[in-house]
Chains A and B, each alone.
Chain A
Amino acid sequence: MAAILRLDEAIRECVHDGDTVALEGFTHLIPFAAGHEIIRQKRRGLTVIRMTPDVIYDQLIGAGCVSKIVFSWGGNPGVGSLHRLRDAIEKDWPNPLAVEEHEHAGMAAAYAAGASHLPFGILRGYIGTDLPKHNPNVRFIDCPFTGEKLAAVPAHRPDVTIIHAQKADRKGNVMMWGVVGAQKEAVMAAKRSIVTVEEIVDDLNAPPNSVILPGWIAGAVSEVKGGAFPSYAQGYYARNNAFYKQWDNIAKERDTFLKWIDEHITGTKDFAGFMKSIERVTAHV
């Protein structure tokens, strides 16, 4: 059965230096609070996996937690570049960053294979793209039945997957709705998992199909109200577009970025402290 833990306990227990970690979320329900806690606990040498690394991966990379990224689209959605990701790729700051780059269909296949505990995922993909020239983990095989040439990618098997969802009960049954991304596959592909939720309730009153992870599959479950901010949690709060726009300025220069991390992440005790520290930023939105 899932363990109900405080987020700092869950990160301490599940995320170790050198681990391969997937903090999944496709624009919706991004596990920001968990990412912040990884920065607070100063994890190093992580390989991070994510289809759409956005602002939380920019923070992890700039804070020096990451040595390799596996991804298929990296940007600040609707705004532009991730400056910390670019600085790491282009100028090795704060440390060199190895890159394994895919297309979305390949990442999806790798998660599905991981969840199935199969060795590789298969897809009609990587056709007409230069990606395989730079990524030896993309290979091609002939279908044994039709002879069709298909792409193959090794399964993603993260040491730990972290996601954010709307609700769980005290047994750790997790309810999630809206844009669900690849979160279910990412959790089931991982050796360990942490699910942060908006609230833990006595009774989910769950309609059929709405519990995406039964409690015996989820690892640690932590209640973190607002834990997907500045992304959104459908039914709870909207995406804070203003923060995404502000991030562009904060992350552009190394010193403003470091000052922000000091003041708002390492300078706060937990996510509630972080939210309080940026009240000025969020008050008007």
Chain B
Amino acid sequence: MSDYSADEMMTIAAARMMRNGASCFVGIGLPSAAANLARLTHAPDTVLIYESGCIGTKPNVLPLSIGDGELSETADTVVSIVEIFTYWLQGGRIDLGFLGAAQIDRFANINSTVIGDYRRPKTRLPGAGGAPAIAANCGEVLITLRQNKRAFVEKLDFQTSGGHMEGGDSRERMRFPGKGPTAVITDLGIMTPDLVTKELTLTSVHPGVTVDAVRAATGWNLKVAAEVASTPAPGATELSVLRDLQARTAKAHAGQN
């Protein structure tokens, strides 16, 4: 296979996780790229839903914001914000939530609110948006972000959205409607929660990445599966569809289209 970047590998690995025909609530940024790549490759019947109320949207270019005109113009239906968060999300109609994050911990709880103290933050991030409701209510959740020690932390500065909480059956005991994160896809590999302890476990590394490199990019003593798989390298179609999508997107957002 020809050259590809770590970010491309991450997006492609995340896209492969999406089941054709699933209803998927998509966050902006990396999740949006992966979800649309899935729709344009192996999962054409995936129903993409953005929190701006666009349901069954088929954007030709990736949206810069969660409510771009491209999303509403290509949607099956557009509903109000009140409706999307009640009938659709709290109503338990969404199979899969797809989120990004600034920080994640070993139980896949995530932070997108502040770095540092809440009242006197070192860095104020945009905040929760729809993420807590997506993380709580979707049937299952995928998380994608770049892996390094600033992002993969022993302790979150702020818990914005719940993953497996304190591990074990703690999420079940708190009666979350959905079963929570089932995979974390990064630029280095894929982690899935242990069936019993729910602690993230490295199950696959991307081509050219060592287990030690993933450990070194993780702020806790990362659990590693007895047998770690090697993620298949991007296929020619996956790469060309992703690159075409990103080229169309760059052109449109530069205002030339």
Instruction: Tell me if chain B binds chain A.
Output: yes
Within the complex, the shortest CB–CB distance from B176 to chain A, in Å, comes to 6
Known pairs A181-B67, A182-B80, A238-B69; list 10 more (Cβ under 8 Å). Answer: A26-B52, A73-B127, A75-B127, A81-B124, A124-B177, A125-B133, A126-B132, A129-B162, A130-B113, A131-B113
List chain A residues, Cβ under 8 A from B126: 73-75, 81
Q: Is B229 an interface residue (CB 8 A)?
A: no
Can you list, as one digit per residue, whether each of A110-144 has a CB less than 8 Å from chain B (1) or not (0)?
01100000000001111111110010000000000
Can you list, as one digit per residue, whether each of B103-114 has a CB less than 8 Å from chain A (1) or not (0)?
000000100010
A sample of 13 cross-chain residue pairs with beta-carbon separation below 8 angstroms, ordered by A number, consists of: A52-B129, A72-B128, A103-B128, A103-B132, A123-B86, A124-B90, A129-B132, A130-B118, A149-B175, A179-B53, A180-B81, A181-B80, A182-B82
**B65, A105: Cβ atoms under 8 Å?**
no
How many residue pairs link A and B with beta carbons under 8 A? The number is 176
The size bracket of the interface on A is 35 or more
A77-B28, A77-B66 as given contacts; A103 in contact with B81, CB under 8 Å: no
Instruction: State in angstroms the CA–CA spacing of A125 and B85 once bound together.
Output: 10
Instruction: State in angstroms the CA–CA spacing of A182 and B80 once bound together.
Output: 6
A27-B52, A89-B124, A125-B136 as given contacts; A77 in contact with B85, CB under 8 Å: no
Selected from A85, A105, A232, the residue in CB contact (under 8 A) with B90 is A105
Q: Is B160 an interface residue (CB 8 A)?
A: yes
Q: Is A170 an interface residue (CB 8 A)?
A: no
List chain A residues, Cβ under 8 A from B136: 124-125, 127-128
**B127, A72: Cβ atoms under 8 Å?**
yes
List chain A residues, Cβ under 8 A from B176: 127-128
List chain A residues, Cβ under 8 A from B67: 26-28, 77, 179, 181
**B120, A77: Cβ atoms under 8 Å?**
no
Within the complex, the shortest CB–CB distance from A28 to chain B, in Å, comes to 5
**A89, B85: Cβ atoms under 8 Å?**
no
**B69, A178: Cβ atoms under 8 Å?**
yes
Can you list, as one digit per residue, whether each of A251-285 has a CB less than 8 Å from chain B (1) or not (0)?
00000000000000000000000000000000011
Count of B interface residues, CB-CB < 8 Å: 55
Within the complex, the shortest CB–CB distance from B158 to chain A, in Å, comes to 5
Q: Is A171 an interface residue (CB 8 A)?
A: no
A124-B90, A124-B177, A180-B78 as given contacts; A104 in contact with B133, CB under 8 Å: yes
**B86, A108: Cβ atoms under 8 Å?**
yes
Q: Is A16 an interface residue (CB 8 A)?
A: no
A104-B51, A124-B90, A178-B72 as given contacts; A129 in contact with B82, CB under 8 Å: no
Instruction: State in angstroms the CA–CA spacing of A180 and B79 once bound together.
Output: 7
List chain A residues, Cβ under 8 A from B159: 128-130
List chain B residues, Cβ under 8 A from A229: none
List chain A residues, Cβ under 8 A from B78: 178-180
List chain B residues, Cβ under 8 A from A148: 175
List chain A residues, Cβ under 8 A from B90: 105, 123-125
- Sorted nearest first, the 4 A-B pairs with minimum C-beta distance are A128-B162, A27-B67, A78-B64, A77-B65
Q: Which residue of B lies closest to A131 (CB)?
A: B128
Q: Is A241 an interface residue (CB 8 A)?
A: yes
List chain B residues, Cβ under 8 A from A27: 52, 65-68
**Which of B69, B81, B161, B176 has the most A CB atoms < 10 Å from its CB?**
B81
**Which of B67, B73, B130 has the most A CB atoms < 10 Å from its CB?**
B67
**A182, B121: Cβ atoms under 8 Å?**
no
Q: Is A234 an interface residue (CB 8 A)?
A: yes
Q: Is B188 an interface residue (CB 8 A)?
A: no
A238-B69, A285-B255 as given contacts; A127 in contact with B162, CB under 8 Å: yes
